[in-house]
Structure 1
Amino acid sequence: MTKKNIYIFLFNGFSDWEISYLTPELQKSEKIELKYFSIDGKSIKSMGGMNITPEFSIDQVDSNQVSAIILPGGTAWENKSINGIDGLIEKLHAQNKVIGAICGATTYLAGKGYLDNLNHTSNALFYLQNFAKDYNGADNYINELAVTDTNLITANGIGPIEFAREVFKKNRIT
């Protein structure tokens, strides 16, 4: 059985609780190889104060080996202080890989146009419009805790359980 490689992007100030229901179940699955990475591979500190050293830097991530990527929330997305992830996300999206974003990470996808023509959710419509000035997907916004459309999974920050459910379904963990 070939395992699916699911990568979790970590950065200083990521919202650790937003992936807390997701990661233990993925880690337990015999179908999944869970991998953590950051931009530079150096230790980071979560919003909850956990010091974490990822396994990889972004340069070590081969998009061809990625089955799915998870983008946890955090104010860094709102502040647009995360640099260096665009190329990887562009490749993964072009390869129709699963991209999951919760809370603040949805503003990143919205700002890059990934949500313009797909059903999606976030913390609120006005939230996306405020933090993603180039967002043009209001007609496709759905006020739910988690929404999946094609290869994109989006979730409200208060929906980490629903987010986990959608990731499990998309990766056939359930």
Structure 2
Amino acid sequence: MNATSRKPVHLAVYDTLADWEPGFATAYLARGGYEIRTAGASAARPVTSIGALRVVPDLALDAVHPEDSSLLILPGADLWDTSDDLAPFARKAREFLAAGVPVAAICGATAGLAREGLLDDRDHTSAVSSYLAATGYGGGRRYVEADAVTDRGLVTAGPTEPVAFAREILRLLGVYEGEVLDAWYRLFHDSDAEAYAVLEKATAGR
């Protein structure tokens, strides 16, 4: 698929979003030719991240449709655990998965998906198993102790694993594969200097 035929990736944005969590993914998706479009509860109201970044959404969540998207990314945010304000984003994730379009959730967003019932029948991970268990969800038997997990179009990761989260997304959308993806991960996760040469050689023609 060439860059011009790729559908955008939609990044959900909301107050208290953990701005560091999707950064590796969005940066390298953009470098790989994907347009990143931000989606908020309203396109008219800016949101403020935990890091005090002010983001004006490109479009409202209601205007985001699976058929127009390659992926929905849901970052963590304090609001996932302190209110029901972000429940519409979890419902949008259900819509995406039902349509066969992938979703990637990290940190608090995994709890939102657990409350929505989306983790009951998929392998998944999060910060710790007890964090999701506190939601009362029915998927505890499917919890995996791993840095990031992909199952049937759903990527999950805990708050300390933004690089592993990005690795799963880049694999899922075919941005990097095989030894190139492995080199990318080793460079950014392990600071493996030898991986840089592999990645530089593989991406020189891009």
Q: Shorter-chain TM-score: which interval?
A: over 0.9
Bigger strand fraction: 1
Choose which of 7, 14, 36 in structure 1 pairs with 2:10: 7
Choose which of 23, 26, 42 in structure 2 pairs with 1:23: 26
Residue of structure 2 equivalent to 1:163: 165
Q: Which runs of 5+ in 2 are unaligned?
A: 177-206
Choose which of 118, 129, 132 in structure 2 pairs with 1:128: 132
Structure 1 outlier segments of 4+, above 3 Å: none
Structure-2 separation of matches of 1:113 and 1:87: 10
User: Shift in Å at residue 76 of structure 1?
Assistant: 0.7
Query: Which one scores higher on RCO, CA 8 angstroms, separation ≥ 6?
Result: 1
Residue of structure 1 equivalent to 2:175: 173
* Cα pair distance change 1:19/1:140, threshold 3 Å: same
What are the Cα deviations for residues 35-82 of structure 1, in whole angstroms up to 9, with x where unaligned? Answer: 111011121100100011111111221221011100000111112332
Structure-1 separation of matches of 2:141 and 2:65: 34
Report the 3-state secondary structure (helix = DSSP H, G, I; strand = E; otherwise coil) of the residue aligned with 1:84: helix
Structure 2 residue 103 is matched with structure 1 residue 94: no
* Cα pair distance change 1:173/1:156, threshold 3 Å: same
CA contact (8 A) 2:10 2:73 kept: yes
Residue of structure 1 equivalent to 2:196: none
Bigger helix fraction: 2
Residue of structure 2 equivalent to 1:118: 122
Query: What is the TM-score with the length of structure 1 in the denominator?
Result: 0.93
Residue of structure 1 equivalent to 2:78: 75
Instruction: Give the count of matched residue pairs.
Output: 171
Residue of structure 2 equivalent to 1:149: 151
Report the 3-state secondary structure (helix = DSSP H, G, I; strand = E; otherwise coil) of the residue aligned with 1:16: coil
RMSD: 1.2
Residue of structure 2 equivalent to 1:37: 39
Choose which of 23, 31, 53 in structure 1 pairs with 2:56: 53
